[in-house]
Chain A
Amino acid sequence: MSLGLYLHRVSPVHAVPAGAKMLALLAAGTGLLLFPSLPVLSGALVATLGLYALARLRPREVAPVFRLSAFVLVPLFALHALVSGWEPALVAVLRLAVLMLLATLVSLTTRASDMLDALERALRPLARFGLNPARLGLLLSLTLRFIPLLATWLREIQEAQRVRGLDRNPVAVLVPLLVKTLRTADTLADAIDARCFDPEEPS
């Protein structure tokens, strides 16, 4: 899978297993929630930027990813500064920024497939709920296969309804899209069964 945020490098950060990185992120999140002081946060920020350097990620590559976070953080800082002064504002926003930086670092340095493996292991207890981990791989691949197709159908249906002057009516777009999706589901299920797939098998 080449989709996603992953940037390939040979670095110690990339080498850490996905599960360990996610646990570390969880620990860091808890720590920052418990000790939200300016010195601790500044130290955490420096350490985080150090990790980015260690992962050999260049600021220019990483910048687009953070533009989305800035949309949230800047207004939040302004709001906090107005309500409770600049120091609490800085603490609140800095904590968020460090956490988001760390989380993004995990996403940037871990392949989507490795991440999915780790998540799959974490989800094992959900098997009771009807989610057979062995089937998860097929589900993930099927979803990836059908995202571009559904996006195309959505566009086609919007265009068809525009010709009829119905493009401002979302139900006129949604219902055909859903019917097409469900009709495809029936054939697709037949096609999967026809190729000797056994949904019940534990494998």
Chain B
Amino acid sequence: MIRLHAVSHHFGERPVLEGLDLTLSERRIAVVGGNGSGKSTFARLLNGLLVPERGQVLVEGLDTRKDARAIRRKVGFVFQNPDHQIVLPTVEEDLAFGLKNLKLPPADISTRVTAVLRRYGLEDFRHHPAHLLSGGQKQLLALSSVLVMEPRYIVFDEPTTLLDLRNKRRLAQAIHELPQTAIVVSHDLELLRDFDRVLVFDAGRVVVDDVPSVALDAYVRMMA
């Protein structure tokens, strides 16, 4: 469970988040909102990439202000552009990067890497240079590199924005099948239809918090 208590944040003079009080416990939580509504900032609060100016973010009771390292083991993060999050030159090295940071023994690293490669059909690309993968494969690699660390929560920041329709569906399927809690920031409403809960952001506040059938319609009306 992730809790936010009276969270506010500014960039310079501009408020980006104001007075958020939320408890996130559903398995599939969607976050929607216009550009600049604060949803990307919100996503970065959840694993301590950003610490709020005021208020507290607690992940299973741990405060992101004090326990960022422990929290990052629990909360994985998939960014919008896989090119900006694939760190190492080959598929295998990139998958192993997080596991080495967790100080796992080499044998465990190898086992986990093999398992995740098989799960997403990337076995043939094990020693492949990451920059030669297709856009869809890159996004799957980015997701795999996070999954391989076995986090309990995964935050996605607009993961399908740069993908074509087929790869959007493939990623949607992959997210659907995750055993973990997923918190997905997205403009891709189709992806969010079967979620448990939708938060609609506007000007740094949550203006609608409901099931998709209600919240997504409200959001579409808001944007009209």
Contact = CB atoms under 8 A, between A and B. Distances in A.
B85 A148 contact: no
Given A149-B131, A195-B149, A196-B73, A190 B44 contact: yes
Interface string B26-57: 00000000000000000010010100000000
Contacts of B97: 195, 197
A188 interface: yes
A141 B93 contact: yes
B15 interface: no
Given A141-B93, A145-B130, A190-B44, A195 B146 contact: yes
A53 interface: no
B137 interface: no
Given A195-B145, A195-B149, A187 B79 contact: yes
A149 B130 CA distance: 10
A78 interface: no
Contact of B84 (A187, A193, A195, A197): A187
A197 B98 CA distance: 7
B72 interface: yes
Contact of B85 (A138, A188, A197): A188
Contacts, number: 65
A198 B85 contact: no
A144 interface: yes
Contacts of A174: none
Interface in A111-169: 138, 141-142, 144-145, 148-149, 152
Interface in B49-105: 49, 69, 72-73, 76-77, 79, 81, 83-89, 93, 97-98, 101-102
Contacts of B85: 187-188, 191
Nearest to A144: B89
A179 B1 CA distance: 38
Given A145-B130, A195-B149, A188 B84 contact: yes
Contacts of A188: 84-85, 87
A194 B131 contact: no
Nearest to A187: B84
A149 B76 CA distance: 25
Contacts of A187: 79, 81, 84-85
A194 B84 contact: no
A199 B149 CA distance: 19
B101 A198 contact: yes
A192 interface: yes
Interface in A66-94: none
Nearest to B49: A190
Contacts of B98: 195-196
Most buried by B among A149, A192, A196: A196
A11 interface: no
12 contacts: A138-B87, A141-B93, A142-B88, A145-B89, A145-B131, A148-B129, A149-B83, A191-B84, A194-B47, A195-B72, A196-B73, A198-B69
Given A184-B83, A194-B49, 14 more contacts: A138-B87, A141-B88, A145-B86, A148-B131, A152-B131, A187-B79, A188-B84, A188-B85, A190-B77, A193-B72, A194-B77, A195-B72, A196-B98, A197-B97
